[in-house]
């Protein structure tokens, strides 16, 4: 047919454009829903990670307190049960090291630096050497171990 020269077709009501617009609107709605769902999942993952970190910190602090308790039960001299008491302290220090390693493996930071852990193990080894040689006074080694464990406890609480 004959078309008038000044009239333009209204393209917004074209059936092809309406279909494209519907697809575009659906795509935008799906993307908005996906962003909302991912935000919720990320928030719950962050909350879970924080809870895990708090639990690890509590366990490390409990191990430090138990180690301090064990050191306070050690006598300043060599006794028959000194080795067994020292082994309990060693267990707790080893537990601190394992919890540190687990938290680091899960992407967290170490609660106690490796240098401090090495100092604790050195103190325990020195105390054990004094027990094996039968040295009459282990007060200096006991005080060093107690001081280092107290420093670790303060480090964790901060």
144 contacts 123 by C-beta, under 8 angstroms: yes
Angle at the Cα of 107 (from 103 to 108), degrees rounded to 5?
A: 55
pLDDT at position 21, please?
84
pTM of this prediction?
0.72
Q: How far from the centroid of its chain's Cα atoms is residue 83's Cα? A: 32
pLDDT at position 87, please?
93
Runs of H (alpha helix) within 79-113:
82-105
Beta bridge partners of 77: 137
pLDDT at 7 > cutoff 70: no
pLDDT in tens, 28-85: 999 999 999 999 999 998 888 889 889 999 999 999 999 999 999 988 777 778 889 9
Separation CA 145–CA 89 (nearest Å): 10
Estimate the crossing angle of helix 82-105 against helix 15-73, to 10 degrees.
170
Separation CA 140–CA 118 (nearest Å): 18
Separation CA 151–CA 131 (nearest Å): 24
**pLDDT exceeding 70 applies to what percent of the chain?**
89
Selected residue with higher pLDDT from 18 and 151: 151
What is the pLDDT confidence band of residue 95, given thresholds at 50, 70 and 90?
very high
64 contacts 96 by C-beta, under 8 angstroms: yes
Separation CA 154–CA 158 (nearest Å): 6
Domains defined along the chain, listed by start: 51-157 (1.20.120)
């Amino acid at each position: 047919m004959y078309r008038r020269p000044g009239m333009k077709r209204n393209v917004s009501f074209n059936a092809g454009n309406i279909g494209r617009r519907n697809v575009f609107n659906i795509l935008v709605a799906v993307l908005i829903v996906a962003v909302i769902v991912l935000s919720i999942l990320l928030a719950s993952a962050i909350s879970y990670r924080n809870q895990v970190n708090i639990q690890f910190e509590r366990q490390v602090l409990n191990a430090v307190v138990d180690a301090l308790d064990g050191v306070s039960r050690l006598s300043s001299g060599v006794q028959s049960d000194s080795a067994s008491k020292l082994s309990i302290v060693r267990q707790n220090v080893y537990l601190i090291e394992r919890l540190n390693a687990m938290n680091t493996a899960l992407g967290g930071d170490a609660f106690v630096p490796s240098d401090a852990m090495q100092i604790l193990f050195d103190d325990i080894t020195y105390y054990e050497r004094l027990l094996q040689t039968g040295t009459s006074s282990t007060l200096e080694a006991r005080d060093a171990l107690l001081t280092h464990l107290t420093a670790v406890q303060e480090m964790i609480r901060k």
